Structure 1
C-alpha cells in the first residue's frame, strides 16, 4: 500500500471507529507499518487540515470528527475522468485549485481494481497548456478571496482596470463568476456603492479586514450587467425535485 492510499485508509479507519479513539500502536498494526510511520502519517493528516486530533493519557488516542468529513464515495472511471478533465480546464490559477487537486488525489487513491486503472489511463490522456501570464492569479490573492468568501468577510483590494488605472476598493464578496476564460469576484463595492465584478488577475493586492460582511444576493448584484444571464454550472446545480 503506497502512502497516499494509506493516508486515505487511515481517515476511513478513524471515521469507522469514531468517536472511539485509536492508538498509534493499533493503527500501525492495522496497516502493517512501524509506530513512527503511523505517527508521521497522522501528523501529516493534521497538518493538511483533516479534522483529526489526539488525546493523551489512559484511554486516549487519535480520533476524527465524522461531521467534518465525507463518508466513502464510489466513483466510476467516467466520473473520475470527468473530474480530471474539469481540473485541467480550470487550470492552476482557478479559485480553489489547490483543494480541487488534493480532492482528486484522494479520489484516485480510493479507487481500486479495473475502475482505478481505467480512470488513471483516461486521465493520462488529458493535457492542458499552462495559463498565459495575463491569466495568472497570484496564490496569495486567490487565497484571500477564497477565505473572504468562506468567512463572509470584507476585503480591501488594490485593483487595476482594463485601462491600467489602479484604485483602492473595499468590497463585500458575494460570489465568483467564470466568463470568457477568466474568473471574477462579484461583490458589493463600498467605494462605488454598487455591485461590481473584479477580474482576479487584475487584483494587485487583497487584504482581509476581519470585518463581517452583510449577505448579498449574487443574482441581484449581476442584474443589469453583461453577466445577468449567468447560471450555476450544471454539475453543481441541485437536481430537480
Structure 2
C-alpha cells in the first residue's frame, strides 16, 4: 500500500472506530508499518486539515470527528475517471482548488486495478497553463463564503479603475471559464459581481454578513439566467 492510499485508509479506520480512540500501536499493526510511520502519517493528516486529534491519558490514542468527514462513497470506474479528470482540470485560481487537488488524490488512492490506471492516465492528459497569482484572494473568498463574513476588497474593473469595496458575499457565478463573486456591495449599495482575477486583495473581516439571495442579486444583470450546474442538480427518481 502506497502512502497516499494508507493516509486514506487511516482516516477510514479512525472513522469506523469513532468516537473511540485507537492507539498508534494498534494502527501500526493494522497497516503493518512502524509506529513512527503511523505517527508521521497522523501528523500529515492534521497538517492538511483532517479533523484527527490525539487523546492523552489512560485509554487514549487518536480519534477523528466523524461529523467533519464523509462516509465511504463507492464510484464506478467511469465515475472515478470523470471526477479525477474534472478535478485535475481545476485551475490554481479556481475556487476550492486546493480541496479539489486533495480530493483527486483521495479518489485515485481509493480505487485499484484497471480503473485506477485509467483514471490516472486520463488525468495525465489534462494540462493547464499556470497563472501564478490569485491564491491568497481565492482563499480569502472561500473563507468569507464558508463563514458568511463581510469581505474587504481592492478591485480593478474592466476599464482599469481601482476601488476599495466592502461586500457581503452571496455566492459564486461561473461563466465562459471565468469566476465571479456575487455580493451585496456596501460601497455602492447594490448587488455586484466581482471577477476573481480582477480582485487585487481580499480580506475577510470578523463581521457576520447579512444573508442575501443569490438569484435576487443577479436580477437585471447578465447573470440573471444563471442555473445550477448539471453536476450539482439533485437526481430525480
TM-score class normalised by the smaller sequence: over 0.9
Superposition deviation, residue 121 in structure 1 = 2.7
Q: State the distance in 2 between where 1:116 and 1:110 align.
A: 8
Superposition deviation, residue 84 in structure 1 = 2.8
CA offsets 1:107-141 (integer angstroms, 9 cap, x no match): 110112232222223333x323315x5xx651111
Between stretches 46-55 and 109-118, larger displacement belongs to 109-118
1:189 aligns with one of 185, 189, 198: 185
Q: Secondary structure at the match of 1:90?
A: coil
8 A contact 2:149–2:208 mirrored in 1 = yes
1:221 aligns with one of 208, 217, 221: 217
Q: Secondary structure at the match of 2:54?
A: strand
1:210 aligns with one of 206, 212, 215: 206
8 A contact 1:22–1:60 mirrored in 2 = yes
Give the structure 2 partner of residue 8 of structure 1: 8
8 A contact 2:84–2:123 mirrored in 1 = yes
Q: State the distance in 2 between where 1:169 and 1:26 align.
A: 53
Give the structure 1 partner of residue 56 of structure 2: 56
8 A contact 1:74–1:111 mirrored in 2 = no
Superposition deviation, residue 55 in structure 1 = 0.9
Q: Secondary structure at the match of 2:206?
A: strand
Superposition deviation, residue 89 in structure 1 = 4.0
Q: TM-score, normalization: structure 2?
A: 0.95
Superposition deviation, residue 88 in structure 1 = 4.2
Q: TM-score, normalization: structure 1?
A: 0.94
CA offsets 1:170-197 (integer angstroms, 9 cap, x no match): 0000000111211100000001110000
8 A contact 2:184–2:217 mirrored in 1 = yes
Give the structure 1 partner of residue 226 of structure 2: 230
8 A contact 1:158–1:166 mirrored in 2 = yes
Unaligned runs of 5+ in 1: none
Q: State the distance in 1 between where 2:29 and 2:90 align.
A: 41
Give the structure 2 partner of residue 66 of structure 1: 66
8 A contact 2:154–2:201 mirrored in 1 = yes
1:151 aligns with one of 147, 150, 157: 147
Q: How many residues in Structure 1 have an aligned counterpart in Structure 2?
A: 237
8 A contact 2:85–2:122 mirrored in 1 = no
Q: State the distance in 1 between where 2:117 and 2:178 align.
A: 33
The within-5 A match list for 1:74-223 is 74-124=74-124, 126-131=125-130, 137-223=133-219
Q: 1:189 to 1:137 in 2, by over 3 A?
A: farther
Q: 1:88 to 1:120 in 2, by over 3 A?
A: closer
Unaligned runs of 5+ in 2: none
Off by >4 Å, runs of 4+ in structure 1: none
Superposition deviation, residue 239 in structure 1 = 2.3
Q: 1:40 to 1:90 in 2, by over 3 A?
A: closer
